[in-house]
Structure 1
Amino acid sequence: MAAFLVLFFSTWVFFVHGIPVQGNPIPLVIWHGMGDSCCNPISMGAIKKMVENQIPGIYVLSLQIGNSFVEDVENSFFLNVNVQVARVCDQLAKDPKLQQGYNSMGFSQGGQFLRAVAQRCPNPPMRNLISVGGQHQGVYGLPHCPGESSHVCDWIRKLLNSGVYTKVVQDRLVQAEYWHDPLNEEDFRNNSIFLADINQERSVNKSYKSNLQALKKFVMVKFLKDTMVIPPDSEWFAFYKPGQSAHIIPLQNSSLYTEDRLGLREMDKAGKLVFLGVEGDHLQFTHEWFNENILPFLH
């Protein structure tokens, strides 16, 4: 009877509180977004603390790109993304606490950066990838711009396009590396040094596909009233139809999916893709929403 009660209580603790009763919790790696840092007490610092409070004993690594708070923020704008990803891969490979596997959670551009880690660096193994507002098909717009009908938006966009795919801009401006111009798909495909590569636009790297498919879950969070990411549909891997910038093609109707260059179609059929929508603007969510919708993927 005593043994039965112990087993019953342990099972109740696991299912009600979501806390593993044997072994250590799965570690978590966090990558912040543009203009943020690893340890800002009102952003990533708060997220780290919230997770640690909900999952006692968990190891949470909030990535700092650089040697200081200031460098971390600056590098989110000016350090080549491929260099950032390589540094993170090396850091994770050397961290003894991650060797049995880890979950990852990227915020805004940190979402697609962690996807690059999953595709390029399978060791240590990433289990679940949670992208919170990540722009997996890139962006083609300005934060808080009035909209597609604004001549100002179009004028500034044309200025960006005049140089966004040049080598000097691609090498030195992070946001240019995931700028996706649907009016110039060929230019994007040939000259984007980051997004076009991880989205297999030029050629198919079989290891990118198999490494991504090794994930248990790929969770994508879209902010349904997002005014920062244009188009917000990119957060669910959807994007404009090539040749125009008004009509959105859902992921399931895109060539990326139908050709299955990343293995997303197979993952979708296997139930590995999770699409979550949250009311609110970019990265705006409540603790209650986070606990209910995100915490289950951190165990």
Structure 2
Amino acid sequence: MLSCSSFLIFFLFSWVLLPMKSFAIPIISLDKVRLAINDGASEQLPVVIWHGLGDTPTSFTLTEVSQRVQKLTKGAVYAIRVGDNEFEDIKAGYLGKLEDQLDEVCDLIGNEDSLSNGFYALGLSQGGLFLRALAQTCDAAKIRSLITLGSPHSGINTIPGCSPTNLICKAVVHSILGLGIWHSWIQNHVVQAQYYRTEKQYDKYLENNKFLTHLNNEVLHDNYTRNIEKLKELDNLVAVSFERDDIVEPPYSTGFGWINETTGENIEMEDFVLYESLGLKDLVNQGKLETISFPGRHLQMRWGDFDALVLKYFKDEKEEKTELEESTRPSNFLSTYFVSPLVSAIDGTVDYLHGKSLFPEKRNFKELTMRKRSIVTPEDSEEVYPYISEFVAASNVSEEKGPKSFANLAFITIFSHFFYHIDDMWRSTLGLFSLIPQIIGIIYLTVMFTGRELDTFMQFGGQVVNEFINYVVKVSLKYPRPADIEYGVGYGMPSSHSQFMGFFSAYMIAWDYKYRRSQCFSMLSFAKYAIYLTLSTFVCSSRYLLDFHYLTQVVYGYMIGFGVGLFWVYLVGKLRSLGVTKWLLSLPPLQFFYIKDTIPHSKDNHKRQWLESKQFKNQKSN
């Protein structure tokens, strides 16, 4: 719901916890993935993986990816981790100078004997861009084949985090970018700024950007020819794109293309500047560069397709059948995505409940609306992609069943968005239910600035923390939304709307129990609780019935929010008992705005104020 705000909160939060040692060059390590299979004696070339933004080598998804690659290739697998721990690694994805990070990784690769004879490389999201940078600049990085999944090779023209339809978020981000993106400090410390590119300020981009302009040969520099020659040393460069990528903008960047920033039209790789400047034309003519497109969103692909890529480009000795072939054939659509074992287990629980008829039956895979797209040549499809024909057949549905055109859809965007068919009253009503958190947010702001009660500010602060937790969990699990929703954006687990309502319900009920315990069992209180839970039911149901989320994402979102809400009531109470709130009220800014903390300490506050007002009017009339 607050994807843009969450990104900014995470950015600022990183600086609050940033230790002084982080101003030095971070320590970068290569973590070797070890399994109980022939991992050391094999002559198979190893694979090096560089993860994407907000991820770590030990996350659920990356762990499964690494283990899967190792089982398929029967060789060693290394994962690049930046920093001393997982938090440092996540932070390094946002903050740091890329040239320094790449130099350190290059040195470590050079010191790793098992990589001296060459290796394969797999880059997820921005990790693919960094691996290509290694291939072009690091002599020790003898990469044979490089696969990049959703990597912004041509750059990005906005910070990741805004949905395509969230106009307010986009306006805020573009304003921030316009004010400071070209500043030397930003260019040397913010990772995404170092591959930010816009043709609307192309002169400033060429003048101030020192990473992407050199990497893509958009300016003349000392290593211009070397960049081209080093790319030619690759046996294969495979750029995988996702048709509905909602993280990389423009999404065509993942296939070495761009977008006409005036008309919005796609600029194909062959018509873009990199085709000549980076020598991509020669790679295409030599059969070394392949661009592949999948129909999902960012990093959404079937395990069978992923396995096929690994076997085709990373396997030294081709085998007719692998030990994973049977296990990767999908039984339902959910299990085929790039998801973690934990989320798969959650989905399995819901499958069990569906089998017990406790929930409505899930939609069949063949009912999901996916666009047909050829990703390999016909002669290769049977051999390399054994499940493609099944996938295409399942996705070849009538256009009439798909979403209506953008002109026939109405939408509202206030920190969030929803779509509905104008002639469908049911979906319109459900869409309005999705706006309940926004309405509550407006009420928060209104009460804060009219009542000026510290308790309201603390509750609102808890919602901000709740949103941050939602963002961290989403980027860690990377669980997708339903594939048949055209405009749902970002990852889906857990639902932020449901988590918001879970926090709101828990906080309001627990607050009553803590500060109004003598009244919390009255009929009036039960009526209030029923309203909170009814509103929560409306919101959660709308997110599921409108196909913005799977049922698991809604249920777990509400549970997480409810838990955070209970904890936040306890935490605020603890701060009061320790005198922290009293200290806060003594601060000059809070005194200037007359912030007070009276609600928890006075019962029937509204009735008392009403009586005082009535008494004052009577005295004035007399």
Q: Is the pair's TM-score, using the shorter chain for normalization, greater than 0.5? A: yes
- Give the number of the structure with larger relative contact order, counting CA–CA contacts within 8 Å between residues 6 or more apart: 1
Q: TM-score, normalised by structure 2?
A: 0.42
| Equivalent position SS for 1:134 | coil
Q: CA deviation at 1:245?
A: 6.3
| Equivalent position SS for 2:277 | coil
Task: Please give the alpha-carbon distance, in whole angstroms, between the structure 2 residues aligned to 1:48 and 1:268.
Answer: 29
CA contact (8 A) 1:182 1:244 kept: no
Aligned to 2:61: 43
CA displacement, residues 50-97 of structure 1 (integer Å, 9 cap, x when unaligned): 1112222x1111001112112111111111111111111111111000
**Bigger share in helix:** 2
Give yes or no for the alignment of 1:153 onto 2:156: no
Give the unaligned 5+ runs of structure 1.
1-21
2:265 to 241, 247, 255: 247
Q: Which amino acid aligns with 2:310?
A: I
1:217 to 227, 236, 241: 236
Residues 1:187 and 1:154: Cα distance change in structure 2 (over 3 Å): same
1:130-279 equivalences in 2 (<5 Å): 130-143=147-160, 145-147=162-164, 150=167, 152-203=169-220, 205-241=224-260, 244=262, 246-257=264-275, 260-279=276-295
Q: Which moved more, 1:24-33 or 1:246-255?
A: 246-255
| Equivalent position SS for 1:77 | coil
CA displacement, residues 186-238 of structure 1 (integer Å, 9 cap, x when unaligned): 11111112111101111151111101111000000101111111111000010
Give the unaligned 5+ runs of structure 2.
1-40, 316-622
Residues 1:72 and 1:152: Cα distance change in structure 2 (over 3 Å): closer
Task: Please give the alpha-carbon distance, in whole angstroms, between the structure 2 residues aligned to 1:124 and 1:75.
Answer: 21
CA contact (8 A) 1:148 1:246 kept: no
Task: Please give the alpha-carbon distance, in whole angstroms, between the structure 2 residues aligned to 1:279 and 1:265.
Answer: 25
| Equivalent position SS for 2:48 | strand
1:30 to 29, 49, 64: 49
Aligned to 1:3: none
The aligned length equals: 274
Task: Please give the alpha-carbon distance, in whole angstroms, between the structure 2 residues aligned to 1:124 and 1:151.
Answer: 43
Q: Which amino acid aligns with 2:199?
A: P
Q: CA deviation at 1:146?
A: 4.2
Q: Which amino acid aligns with 2:294?
A: V
CA contact (8 A) 1:102 1:125 kept: yes
Q: TM-score, normalised by structure 1?
A: 0.86
Give yes or no for the alignment of 1:112 onto 2:132: no
Q: Following superposition, which runs of at least 4 residues in structure 1 exceed 4 angstroms of deviation?
A: none
Aligned to 2:465: none
CA contact (8 A) 1:183 1:245 kept: no
CA contact (8 A) 2:159 2:192 kept: no
| Equivalent position SS for 1:100 | coil
* Largest Rg, 1 or 2: 2
| Equivalent position SS for 1:35 | coil
Task: Please give the alpha-carbon distance, in whole angstroms, between the structure 2 residues aligned to 1:227 and 1:200.
Answer: 27
Q: Which amino acid aligns with 1:246?
A: G
Root mean square deviation, CA, Å: 2.0
- Aligned-pair identity in percent equals 28
Task: Please give the alpha-carbon distance, in whole angstroms, between the structure 1 residues aligned to 2:208 and 2:263.
Answer: 20
